[in-house]
Structure 1
Amino acid sequence: MTDTHQSAAPEEAQNMLQDSAMDQALDWLITLECASNEQKAAFDNWLNADPAHAHAFAKANAIWNGEPVLAAAQTLQTRRAPSLLRRIGRHWKHLATAAVVIICVGSYSNVPLRLQADHLTVVGERQRLQLEDGSKVLLNTNSAFSSKVVNAQASARLYQGEAYFEIPADLELPMVLDAGPVRVSVRDTDFAVSYLNGEAQVRVQRGDVDLRVSSAGTQMRLSAGNSVRIGPNGFSKTARLNPQTDLAWVQGRLVFENCPMGKVLDEVRRYYPGWIVSNNDKLASIAVTGNYRLDQPLDILRSLAHITSSNISEFPALVILN
């Protein structure tokens, strides 16, 4: 037994040194994406300090620039080989972090716009507000909102995201809300507004709202139980509101009734702080019915994988369905 321990100890120590070098190499890969001259010089010193460093960096670089990781970063539709994932092992956390950082660079292009907002929610967060005029607002995930009252006139703007409003009846003047292409004038009404991907949508649960699209010179009144989408060219056809599904998020739920899984995944993506990738095109058309807690998106994905007999692979900030 003594001989066994003596031979195992050096092997364990060697593995620890290799893991340490690999961790450092992965850290350098991330740093070198946007490195200063001083950082580049420090990297050269680290690389030349030990042959194990050069070996680890070559291995990390091969993984990072390998087809699976590049494809995920570029298209989020890669097919990952289980053998590669096993080889990456616990180092996947570093690679996933780097991939998410690089992929997400473009998502900060709206930072100046969001800086104008009084209230922000991150992905997966909801926030309740009490406005100066007595109105109540529930901000949904990844939303930006501001409001003010000037000379008894309440005005607000939804820069992006989704919000549910409860507007009291005793307002001296109607509240005016801007959301992308549409201006909403309202009082004594409960309604929801979303502004996503350049399109607004208004859903009225109680009362009436007056809508106007200045660029198209069109306006309409939307009554309780109806919804409408609004683009730069004006209004879509009015549709009936289904509060059990359309407004389920207000109650902290996501409810789907015979909904194609592709659309279900799109909705879950709004609440998951990472990437959700489906590698099976056949999954998109499968009809899904379910009632889920929106604050547990990972549990939703696990349930969807179970009911569709899909395989699910979970990594930091990344879930893959096959």
Structure 2
Amino acid sequence: MDHHLLGKYLKGEATPEECQQVEEWLQNAPEDWVDAFMESQEQAGEPLPPLEKETFTARVMQRVRPRKNRWLQVAAVMAGLLAAGWYLVKPGKVKPRELELVDISIPANKTGRITLPDGSKVVMNAGSRLQYVRDFEGSTRAVTLTGEAFFDVSPDTEKPFIIQAGALSTRVLGTSFNISAYPGARRLTVTVLSGKVSVTDTLSSRAVTLLPRQKAVFLPGSASLAAETVAHPENEIAWQQGRMTFDETPLSEVAEKLSRRYNVHIVLASGRLANCRFNGEFEKEPLDVILRMITRLTSTRARREGDTVYLSGQGCAPAN
């Protein structure tokens, strides 16, 4: 593989034809391609400093694990390269210009507000992480999100804003939207409040375009991506005010959100419980109060052992 072309692809500067060429190569790329790429840079007189090279390799390989689906590994490598703060080389430069990676994490039961280098505003939910290259070097404004965040992106028609969140890549020019993509979640969502965004499943290259009051839903289990209308998009960002709003929400999703909010692990005793739907709104109520309401409305029982809560009961039939 031409490493100059690979570099263009990683920076989002490749043409569609070049992207296809790189992606076809990546499907059967050798496992040591990262080492080969870095060795080529050294041979060209543009080596990475030892510490940065160590960090680069560690962060890339941390995200590359054996998987049945080769495309999952490719997507993980791409996310790893972005999160590692891949450096840029300007034409005519002898040495690579090192880029500083900004890494922001929000602890459980907290939210955080930050302003990005371009003036874009981000509100991060509990247990979330945001990574980007300081000053947004390159032709795009690229960030990697783990968890959930609300973005209010400053317009810039010359420099698209791209968020890599799990298997979803969201591309915008200037708009406001919410992304929820926690590791292990049963579904990943992108909800638009203003403007227009394009959401792509990086594993299959399927894409949907969203307008206000629309949501993209990606199900990792079935690798399906679809767009749907949202009746109350404000509910998607209620967490910014410390509120949790559930509207016919599957009990499995309720359990995930409560686990993150209260830093516990809520376990459903059977798959049928995941089919149950729950309605309610909470703000500062203790977890025990919320659990009592859930058990009463869903005919379940709750048993707590330390930081683990077990929900059991007959469950519900799948929705038609």
TM (normalized to structure 2)? 0.54
Amino acid in the other structure paired with 1:318: T
User: How far apart, in 2, do the equivalents of 1:288 and 1:230 lie?
Assistant: 21
User: How far apart, in 2, do the equivalents of 1:143 and 1:239 lie?
Assistant: 25
**Does structure 1 residue 255 correspond to structure 2 residue 245?**
yes
Deviation, 1:175, is: 1.5
User: How far apart, in 2, do the equivalents of 1:213 and 1:310 lie?
Assistant: 36
- 3-state SS of 2:189 partner: strand
Note if contact 2:153-2:176 (Cα within 8 Å) is conserved in structure 1: yes
Amino acid in the other structure paired with 2:236: D
**Does structure 1 residue 272 correspond to structure 2 residue 262?**
yes
Deviation, 1:221, is: 2.5
**Does structure 1 residue 150 correspond to structure 2 residue 142?**
no
**Does structure 1 residue 165 correspond to structure 2 residue 151?**
yes
User: How far apart, in 2, do the equivalents of 1:216 and 1:133 lie?
Assistant: 31
Q: 1:229 to 1:258 in 2, by over 3 A?
A: closer
Deviation, 1:188, is: 2.4
Aligned to 1:193: 179
Deviation, 1:282, is: 7.5
Amino acid in the other structure paired with 2:281: N
Note if contact 2:132-2:144 (Cα within 8 Å) is conserved in structure 1: yes
TM (normalized to structure 1)? 0.54
Deviation, 1:205, is: 0.9
- 3-state SS of 1:299 partner: helix
User: How far apart, in 2, do the equivalents of 1:254 and 1:238 lie?
Assistant: 23
- 3-state SS of 2:257 partner: helix
Note if contact 2:191-2:233 (Cα within 8 Å) is conserved in structure 1: no
The share of aligned pairs that are identical, in percent, is 25
**Does structure 1 residue 134 correspond to structure 2 residue 114?**
no
**Root mean square deviation of aligned Cα:** 3.7
Note if contact 1:123-1:270 (Cα within 8 Å) is conserved in structure 2: yes
Higher RCO (CA < 8 A, seq sep 6+): 1
**Does structure 1 residue 239 correspond to structure 2 residue 225?**
no
Amino acid in the other structure paired with 1:243: P
Q: 1:282 to 1:223 in 2, by over 3 A?
A: closer
Alignment of 1:84-233 (within 5 A): 112=62, 118-148=103-133, 149-150=136-137, 153-158=140-145, 160-169=146-155, 173-196=159-182, 197=184, 200-230=188-218
Note if contact 2:122-2:152 (Cα within 8 Å) is conserved in structure 1: yes
| Structure 2 portions without partners, runs of 5+ | 1-59, 64-79, 85-101, 313-320
Aligned to 2:21: none
Aligned to 1:28: none
Deviations 1:201-236 (A, max 9, x none): 211111001234454344442211111134689762
- 3-state SS of 1:142 partner: coil
Alignment of 1:1-40 (within 5 A): none
Structure showing greater radius of gyration is 1
User: How far apart, in 2, do the equivalents of 1:284 and 1:157 lie?
Assistant: 29
User: How far apart, in 2, do the equivalents of 1:151 and 1:118 lie?
Assistant: 18
User: How far apart, in 1, do the equivalents of 2:158 and 2:285 lie?
Assistant: 37
Q: 1:139 to 1:306 in 2, by over 3 A?
A: same
User: How far apart, in 1, do the equivalents of 2:205 and 2:301 lie?
Assistant: 50
Using the TM superposition, name which of 197-206 and 110-119 deviates more.
Answer: 110-119
Q: 1:261 to 1:222 in 2, by over 3 A?
A: closer
User: How far apart, in 1, do the equivalents of 2:219 and 2:205 lie?
Assistant: 12
Amino acid in the other structure paired with 1:185: R
Amino acid in the other structure paired with 1:255: T
Q: 1:288 to 1:218 in 2, by over 3 A?
A: closer
Deviation, 1:314, is: 4.2
| Structure 1 portions without partners, runs of 5+ | 1-109
Note if contact 1:208-1:224 (Cα within 8 Å) is conserved in structure 2: yes
Deviation, 1:240, is: 0.9
Amino acid in the other structure paired with 2:142: S
Note if contact 2:208-2:227 (Cα within 8 Å) is conserved in structure 1: no
Deviations 1:135-187 (A, max 9, x none): 111111222211231157422111x2111101123575222222223322213
Aligned residues: 213
Question: Which among 291, 309, 314 is matched to residue 319 of structure 1?
Answer: 309
Q: 1:217 to 1:312 in 2, by over 3 A?
A: closer
